């Protein structure tokens, strides 16, 4: 089974409500879609969103990396020699993790189809159903409370509340408002997106603990490269601390795990460079007794399907943040995972289960 052709396409779809974090505001989900065609008729799909403030990847850099570097390396190669291909994808260019991830998931899509298995079964097959949280964007306390109530009314049991913007006292107001509005039965996770320093984080989290706000975990409270600060927070609070932007690569995961700088790790395919590297991060974490979450950027059902297949395949992945497709104003992907409120069901078709994508102007590719 040889790779005959690699193509890229741009797509975009508006969000129903702006997605706001301490790092950015997103109103439109943009992506570069990848289509890999093999000589036996198998077609694999991938997606890479531009997230310049986190991964450094833009639409232009993704397209350039794929078309000018990755494509010449992969075309005409046998996909059955996939260890060589994934190792090469890791080393032929530095950085560009989202471009690599889009190609990586398309390759895995092809391989699982060749084996006539859904990708989650090809990778391990741990479970067929997942429960996603839903994200509350960072806004004023009252608006965040309204949003939280709306999501609970839609059936979500876990909220991921964005903080880390403005001052720490405003963040505490936001958290108290959300907790007061949704009651004590709803699980709340916080994501500061690097918005605090270590001392403020410790002070704020201790206040939350003393106030009985029952926060399940706090994600990336400090700057990505402040591993000492991350460890300081982890060591001085009872609440679980999760590393996100601090961990892109297996080497970074090893450093966080070796120093016990976090209680949990959030793996994203767009940070790791795809499923191949994400599996290594999860295996390292599992060896150290550290559970993982799998999350995403603002992606369509295509990219989220790949992340969900990976997450569903592994026992050590226990938390899931796959709400991005539910934020989109319309569906542009045919196939993939299926949503029933907060529950996600893995497809039974081989590979990712993707049949095609609708681009801007209504052009369909499949």
Active site residues: 162, 268
* 109 marked as binding residue: no
Q: 52 and 308 in contact (C-beta within 8 Å)?
A: no
End-to-end CA distance of the chain: 20
* 298 marked as binding residue: yes
The strands making up 354-358's β-sheet, listed across from edge to edge, are 333-335, 354-358, 364-365
* 299 marked as binding residue: no
> What are phi and psi for residue 55, nearest 5 degrees?
-95, -20
* 244 marked as binding residue: yes
Helix residue ranges, H only, the chain: 59-65, 71-74, 82-91, 97-114, 119-123, 141-153, 168-182, 198-210, 227-236, 250-258, 269-272, 275-287, 301-313
| Among the listed residues 150, 132, 147, 192, the one whose alpha carbon sits nearest the alpha carbon of residue 168 | 192
Whole-number Cα distances in Å, 225 to 58, 121, 253: 22, 35, 12
* 171 marked as binding residue: no
* 296 marked as binding residue: yes
* 323 marked as binding residue: yes
* 321 marked as binding residue: yes
Q: What residues are designated binding site? A: 24, 135, 160, 191, 219, 244, 296, 298, 321, 323
Q: What residues are designated binding site for substrate? A: 24, 135, 160, 296, 298, 321, 323
Q: What residues are designated binding site for Mg(2+)? A: 191, 219, 244
């Amino acid at each position: 089974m040889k790779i005959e052709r690699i193509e890229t396409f741009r797509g975009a779809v508006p969000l129903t409500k702006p997605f706001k974090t301490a790092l950015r505001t997103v109103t439109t989900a943009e992506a570069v879609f990848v289509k890999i065609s093999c000589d036996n008729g198998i077609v694999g799909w991938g997606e890479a969103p531009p997230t310049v403030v986190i991964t450094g990847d833009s639409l232009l850099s993704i397209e350039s990396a794929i078309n000018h570097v990755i494509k010449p390396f992969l075309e005409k190669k046998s996909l059955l020699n996939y260890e060589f291909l994934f190792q090469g994808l890791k080393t032929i260019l530095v950085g560009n993790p989202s471009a690599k991830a889009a190609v990586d998931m398309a390759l895995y899509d092809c391989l699982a189809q060749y084996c006539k298995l859904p990708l989650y079964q090809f990778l391990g097959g741990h479970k067929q159903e997942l429960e996603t949280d839903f994200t509350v964007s960072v806004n004023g306390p009252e608006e965040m409370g309204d949003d939280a109530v709306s999501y609970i009314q839609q059936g979500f049991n876990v909220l991921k509340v964005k903080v880390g913007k403005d001052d720490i006292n405003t963040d505490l107001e936001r958290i108290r408002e959300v907790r007061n509005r949704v009651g004590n039965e709803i699980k709340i996770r916080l994501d500061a997106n690097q918005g605090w320093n270590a001392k403020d984080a410790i002070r704020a989290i201790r206040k939350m603990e003393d106030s009985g706000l029952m926060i399940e975990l706090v994600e990336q409270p400090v700057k990505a490269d402040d591993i000492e600060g991350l460890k300081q927070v982890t060591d001085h609070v009872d609440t679980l601390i999760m590393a996100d932007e601090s961990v892109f690569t297996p080497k970074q995961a090893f450093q966080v795990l070796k120093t016990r700088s976090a209680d949990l790790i959030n793996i994203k395919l767009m940070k790791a460079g795809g499923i191949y590297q994400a599996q290594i991060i999860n295996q390292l974490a599992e060896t150290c007794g550290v559970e993982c979450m799998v999350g995403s950027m603002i992606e369509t059902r295509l990219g989220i399907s790949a992340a969900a297949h990976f997450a569903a395949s592994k026992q050590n992945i226990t938390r899931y943040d796959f709400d991005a497709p539910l934020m989109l104003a319309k569906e542009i992907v045919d196939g993939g995972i299926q949503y029933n409120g907060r529950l996600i069901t893995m497809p039974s078709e081989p590979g990712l289960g993707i049949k095609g994508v609708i681009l801007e102007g209504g052009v369909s590719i499949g």
